[in-house]
Chain A
């Protein structure tokens, strides 16, 4: 059981470049989300989805796009990378409608924007 898989693990971008962080889960979880983790700060929600075709903004959505065409995949797109987007990104998933369901995290994608 692979759980939540993120790719790539490491990425270096130049300012203005675009890229997509991939997230896939094999647990048939309806809920998927993206967080960023910065030093000295808690995990902050970027975007989330409660099912295919449904997405919503979290706390820090600016500069990021998401889509959910399948239950399994939830890619995060950086449209025009900025140094402020240098961070570690985590994808997480859980069963929707399960009130106390556990949130499962991927291993993270470390992004550096020069």
Chain B
């Protein structure tokens, strides 16, 4: 069964500090991995999309990495801001007929405090 595990479940950091969120997956065959940001009471918004051949992708202060061999991804947030407080969801897509069916992680809830 395809699975996506995220850690930690929740995280509290001080404003201005860096943090790293983890995502491990067992989706096969792998097509791509996406990180989404979901503000409280809002829909998820895409941060990055990474394919098999990509190791790193940045979007401003957000940098995602992918190790397809170990089936791990991380999302690094640099110089955190209060507006980074949100849930971050890792989503993995398989190739072939299952490409329309995505496997979602449960998310990591990040709280940035002053």
A residues with CB within 8 A of B: 4, 31, 33, 40-45, 48, 50, 58-59, 90, 92, 96, 99-100, 102-108
Contact = CB atoms under 8 A, between A and B. Distances in A.
Given A42-B106, A90-B44, 6 more contacts: A40-B106, A41-B106, A42-B107, A50-B100, A99-B99, A102-B34
Interface in B1-33: 4, 31-32
Looking at chain B's contact residues, the main secondary structure is: strand
A37 to B, nearest CB: 9
A45 B91 CA distance: 13
Contact of B42 (A4, A40, A107): A107
Contacts of A92: 43
Contacts of A33: 100
Interface residues of B, number: 23
B97 to A, nearest CB: 11
Contacts of B43: 4, 90, 92, 105-108
B68 interface: no
Given A42-B89, A42-B107, A43-B89, A103 B102 contact: yes
Contacts of B104: 42-44
A22 B108 CA distance: 29
A60 to B, nearest CB: 12
Nearest to B50: A100
Interface string B91-114: 100000001111111110000000
B46 interface: yes
B62 to A, nearest CB: 15
